[in-house]
Structure 1
Amino acid sequence: MSIPQNKDELLNAIETAFSKLAEDLRKVPADVSGLPLMEGHSKGELMSVSNLVAYLLGWNRLVLKWLERDEKGEPVDFPETGFKWNELGELAKKFYSDYQNVPFADLVDRLCQAKNRIIVEISKRNNRKLYEKEWCGKWTMGRMIQLNTSSPYSNARNRLRKWLKNLAAQ
Structure 2
Amino acid sequence: MNVPQTKSELLLAIDKNFNKLMSYLNAIPPELTSDNSMDGHCKDTEMSVRDLVSYLLGWNTLVVKWITSDEKGLPVDFPETGFKWNQLGLLAQKFYSDYSELNYNALITELEAVKDEIVKLIDELTDDALYGKPWYTKWTMGRMISFNTSSPYANANGRLRKWAKNNNISLK
TM-score tier, shorter chain, comes to: over 0.9
Whole-angstrom distance in 2 between the partners of 1:165 and 1:43: 21
Count of aligned residue pairs for this structure pair: 169
Aligned match of 1:80 = 80
Q: Which amino acid aligns with 1:74?
A: L
Structure 1 portions without partners, runs of 5+: none
Aligned match of 2:67 = 67
* 2:54 maps to 1:45: no
Q: Which runs of 4+ in 1 moved over 2 A?
A: none
Q: Deviations over 1:104-129 (max 9, x none)?
A: 11101110111000000000000110
Q: Which amino acid aligns with 1:97?
A: S
Q: Tell me the SS of whatever aligns to 1:135.
A: strand
Q: Which amino acid aligns with 1:152?
A: P
Give 1:166 deviation, angstroms.
1.6
Q: Tell me the SS of whatever aligns to 1:75.
A: coil
Q: Deviations over 1:34-78 (max 9, x none)?
A: 110000000000000000000000000000000000000000000
Give 1:165 deviation, angstroms.
1.4
Structure 2 portions without partners, runs of 5+: none
> TM-score w.r.t. structure 1 length?
0.98
Give 1:30 deviation, angstroms.
1.0
Give 1:88 deviation, angstroms.
0.2
Q: What value does the CA root-mean-square deviation take over the aligned residues? A: 0.7
Aligned match of 2:130 = 130
Give 1:164 deviation, angstroms.
1.2
Whole-angstrom distance in 2 between the partners of 1:168 and 1:40: 19
Aligned match of 2:54 = 54
Q: What percentage of residue pairs aligned between the two structures are identical?
A: 54
